[in-house]
């Protein structure tokens, strides 16, 4: 279980949102505004691409419902940004009006084209899909180019003077920028030369199908391996690491020593809610900040890679990554953004604990911690 606080903590978060505003709570460090905007763009590009254009159509301001939805979207974003304890999840409330706004455009253009312009619309859709697929593959290829450093004095227009890696990176970067511009220009040409309805239908179908693919791949981050989940923007603070492996190791030790999986006598020195939760089913587990040198419990759980005093000679240790946290050097966005966007790979810091077991109970174990 990634978040042991459960449903009650999630529901309490809704009340805490308003408590902080009225001075009844302590504001913790919130997410940066740039991070909130990036989260919207990364997790909800479909809604943004078709919802934001509604703001730029003058006729929409004559419709009270659309005006209400636009105001609701902006109000929720403003409240989230001004809140000193802002979190990514607070922008969830903005998705309802944003998707309703996007629906006004999708319902207009995401329809079967008329017979007269059917060939044009489907041809436009297929061509744009090919361009978008190539754009995504090109972005993925950019993540394989390493060792790029462009100093301020470098003349990027003198292409031959650049090293090969930099040349490849700049070409791929240029392609990444030009493909969306090409789609925009071709849509305008079709709009001016043929039909407004056909031009918007083609681009709407192509972008919608591509966004479905993107959202499916992004949605896998909610069920991916723990290192990928820890790197998601919506995860604030450390997330549970390989806690299941730690519990499994304790159960195996208990089974060998006591014959059961939960009757092990152990001492733990890590005073965190996560550890208390993981050990809730071990009735003989006790928290002791200091261990008596004359006491030799079968198992000790702490964060020391060397046991103090003479205890070390009696125990063997094994490391476990208890928590994972983004290691972005204080930056609000991943250091390798393209790699994070495509593969969700990002630098992570691990919070280690050591599970010490008495060597005489496990004679085959080594005397030093192992990962």
Last-in-domain residue among 67, 89, 109: 109
In a domain, 7, yes or no: no
Helix (H) or strand (E) segment spanning residue 299: strand 299-302
Looking at the structure, tell me whether residues 66 and 141 fall in a common domain: no
Residues of the chain with confidence (pLDDT) below 50: 1, 3, 22-28, 364-367
The whole-model pTM stands at 0.73
Which residues touch 312 (CB under 8 Å, ≥6 apart)?
306, 367
| Same-domain pairing of 251 and 270 | yes
Residue 50 lies in a domain: yes
**53 secondary structure, DSSP code:** G
**DSSP letter at 237?**
S
In the chain, how many domains are there?
Answer: 3
| Cα distances (Å, whole numbers) of residue 175 to 135, 147, 168 | 7, 20, 11
CA distances to 212, 217, 249, 343 from 136, in Å: 13, 12, 42, 12
The residues facing 323 across adjacent strands are 240, 351
199, 284: one domain? no
Inside any domain, residue 351: yes
Domain stop point among 109, 137, 162: 109
Any idea which residue has 């978060």 for tokens?
13
The string over 93-130, giving b where at least 16 C-beta atoms fall within 10 Å of a residue's C-beta and e elsewhere, is: bbbebbbbbbbbbbeebbeebeeebeebbeebbeebbe
Residue 315 confidence (pLDDT):
80
Whether residue 143 contacts residue 92, with contact meaning beta carbons closer than 8 Å, is answered with no
- Same domain membership, residue 256 and residue 212: no
Q: Do the domain assignments include residue 259?
A: yes
Token digits of residue 258: 């006591």
Q: Are 196 and 280 part of one and the same domain? A: no
> Domain residues for 94?
14-109
Looking at the fold, whether 144 and 76 belong to one and the same domain comes out as: no
* Rounded distance between C-alpha atoms, residue 57 and residue 46, angstroms: 18
179 with 133, same domain: the answer is: yes
**Does 251 lie in the same domain as 341?**
yes
Are both 259 and 306 inside the same structural domain? yes
Same domain (yes/no): 245, 354: yes
Quick one: which of 289, 286, 337, 295 has its CA closest to 315?
A: 295
Number of neighbours of residue 43 by Cβ within 10 angstroms:
21
Question: What tens digit of pLDDT does each residue of 307-358 get?
Answer: 766 676 778 888 888 888 888 877 888 888 888 888 888 888 888 999 988 8
Among the listed residues 270, 317, 306, 310, the one whose alpha carbon sits nearest the alpha carbon of residue 294: 310
Other C-beta atoms lying within 10 Å of the C-beta of residue 212: 11
pLDDT at 19: 57
User: Is position 364 within any domain?
Assistant: no
Rounded Cα distance between 181 and 184, Å, is: 5
pLDDT of residue 129: 96
CA–CA separation, 187 and 193 (whole Å): 10
Pairing, β 315-326 against β 239-240: antiparallel
Same domain as 86, residue 194: no
List, for residues 97-127, the tens digit of each pLDDT value: 999 999 999 999 988 888 888 888 999 999 9
Q: Does residue 232 belong to any structural domain of this protein?
A: no
- State whether 324 and 351 are in the same domain: yes
**74 domain residue, yes or no:** yes
Q: Is residue 195 part of a domain?
A: yes
CB 264 within 8 A of CB 300: no
- Write the CA distances from 312 to 260, 270, 359, integer angstroms: 26, 18, 10
- Residue 148 has what pLDDT? 63
The answer to whether 94 and 76 are in contact (CB under 8 A) is: yes
Angle at 25 between CA 22 and CA 31, to 5 degrees: 95
Q: Give the number of other Cβ atoms within 10 Å of residue 169's Cβ.
A: 20
Which residues face 356 on adjacent strands?
Answer: 300, 317
* Residue where a domain terminates, one of 199, 223, 247: 223
Planar angle of CA 54, 58, 60, nearest 5 degrees? 55
């Amino acid at each position: 279980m990634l978040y042991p606080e459960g449903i009650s903590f999630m529901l309490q978060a809704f009340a805490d949102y308003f408590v902080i505003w009225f001075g009844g709570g302590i504001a913790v460090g919130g997410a940066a505004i740039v991070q909130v905007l990036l989260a919207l763009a990364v997790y909800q590009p479909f809604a943004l691409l078709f919802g934001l254009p509604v703001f730029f159509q003058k006729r929409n301001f004559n419709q009270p419902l659309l005006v209400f939805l636009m105001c609701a979207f902006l109000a929720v974003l403003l409240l989230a940004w001004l809140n000193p304890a802002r979190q990514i999840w607070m922008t969830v409330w903005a998705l309802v009006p944003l998707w309703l706004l996007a629906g006004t455009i999708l319902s207009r253009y995401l329809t079967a084209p008329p017979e007269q312009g059917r060939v044009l619309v489907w041809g436009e859709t297929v061509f744009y899909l090919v361009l978008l697929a190539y754009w995504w593959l090109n972005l993925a290829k950019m993540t394989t180019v390493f060792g790029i450093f462009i100093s301020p004095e470098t003349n990027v227009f003198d292409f031959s003077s650049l090293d090969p890696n930099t040349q490849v990176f700049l070409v791929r970067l240029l392609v990444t920028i030009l493909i969306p511009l090409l789609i925009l220009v071709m849509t305008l040409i079709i709009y001016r030369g043929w039909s407004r309805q056909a031009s918007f239908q083609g681009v709407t179908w192509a972008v919608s199908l591509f966004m479905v693919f993107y959202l499916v791949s992004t949605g896998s981050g909610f069920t991916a391996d723990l290192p990928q989940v820890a790197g998601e923007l919506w995860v604030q603070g450390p997330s549970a690491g390989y806690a299941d492996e730690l519990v499994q190791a304790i159960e195996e030790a208990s089974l060998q020593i006591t014959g059961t999986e939960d009757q092990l006598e152990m001492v733990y020195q890590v005073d965190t809610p996560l550890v208390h939760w993981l050990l809730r089913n071990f009735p003989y587990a006790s928290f002791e900040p200091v261990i008596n040198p004359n006491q030799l419990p079968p198992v000790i759980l702490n964060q020391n890679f060397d046991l103090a005093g003479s205890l070390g000679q009696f125990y063997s240790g094994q490391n476990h990554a208890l928590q994972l946290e983004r290691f972005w050097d204080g930056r609000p966005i991943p250091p390798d953004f393209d790699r994070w966007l495509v593969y969700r790979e990002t630098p992570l810091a691990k919070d280690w604990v050591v599970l010490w077991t008495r060597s005489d109970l496990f004679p085959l174990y080594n005397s030093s911690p192992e990962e």
